[in-house]
């Protein structure tokens, strides 16, 4: 029961993050919303690891977290160099 509540709250968060990514007035708003969405997706992967009792999802969540961090850094550096 608690998993359904957590999934729905994370889903609402992802919805608002995608909404901010679409209507964000500046590119920095879009990058922040993308990073927020990546954090929530990592949380979903960790929750799936708990539900399915499978530790391989934790490894996937760690790799996804590192890649999403690198994505944020690369996009930020690109915007900084563009100015």
pLDDT above 70: percentage of residues in the chain: 100
The three-class DSSP label of residue 54 is coil
State pTM to two decimals: 0.87
pLDDT, residue 2, reads 86
Indicate whether 17 pLDDT > 90.
yes
Q: What is the pLDDT of residues 47-82, one digit of tens each?
A: 999 999 999 999 999 999 999 999 999 999 998 888
pLDDT, residue 69, reads 95
CA-CA distance, 32 to 60, in Å (whole number)?
22
Residue 1 is part of which domain span?
1-82
Domain count for the chain, please give it: 1
The encoded tokens of residue 1 equal 């029961």
Q: What is the mean pLDDT of residues 30-46?
A: 94
């Amino acid at each position: 029961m608690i998993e359904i509540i957590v999934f729905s709250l994370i889903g609402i968060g992802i919805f608002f993050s995608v909404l901010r990514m679409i209507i964000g007035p500046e590119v920095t708003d879009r990058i922040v919303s993308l990073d927020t969405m990546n954090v929530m997706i990592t949380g979903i992967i960790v929750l799936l690891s708990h539900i399915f009792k499978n530790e391989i999802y934790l490894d996937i969540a760690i790799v996804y977290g590192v890649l999403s961090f690198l994505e944020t850094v690369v996009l930020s550096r690109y915007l900084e160099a563009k100015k």
